[in-house]
Amino acid sequence: MTETEVNRFRAVLTARVAELGRVTRHRDAITVERCAHQLEEIQAASQRTRAACKLDREFNQLRDARAALRHIQEGSFAARFTAAIASA
């Protein structure tokens, strides 16, 4: 992987980290609120479950992007990337 490719990837990862950082701050969708009707409570619980799964997925992506940026900074990203490609 060339230095230009690493720099381009770093820029993409930095933008993704910033985007995910903004998205994961909005946790209102998983707030539990009481409803007057049981059907509304069931629907709200389903929506909370989907929101929690999405939030979990976004946190995992954020963790992975930060780890990749850390590897770029340490200088070990290109070697890890090449090894991952070779083993696939």
Residue 65: Cβ-neighbour burial (10 angstroms; 0-12, 13-18, 19+): buried
- Burial of residue 24 (CB within 10 Å: 0-12, 13-18, 19+) is middle
13-17, 22-26, 41-45, 80-84 — most confident range: 13-17
**Contact indicator for 6, 72 with CB cutoff of 8 Å:** yes
Helical H segments across 1-88, by residue range? 3-23, 38-74, 77-87
Residue 32 makes CB contacts below 8 A (sequence gap 6+) with: 44, 48
Q: What is the pLDDT of residues 20-59, one digit of tens each?
A: 988 877 777 677 777 778 888 888 889 889 988 999 999 9
Question: Is this model's pTM higher than 0.85 or not?
Answer: no
Kindly list the domain boundaries of the chain, sorted by start residue. 3-87
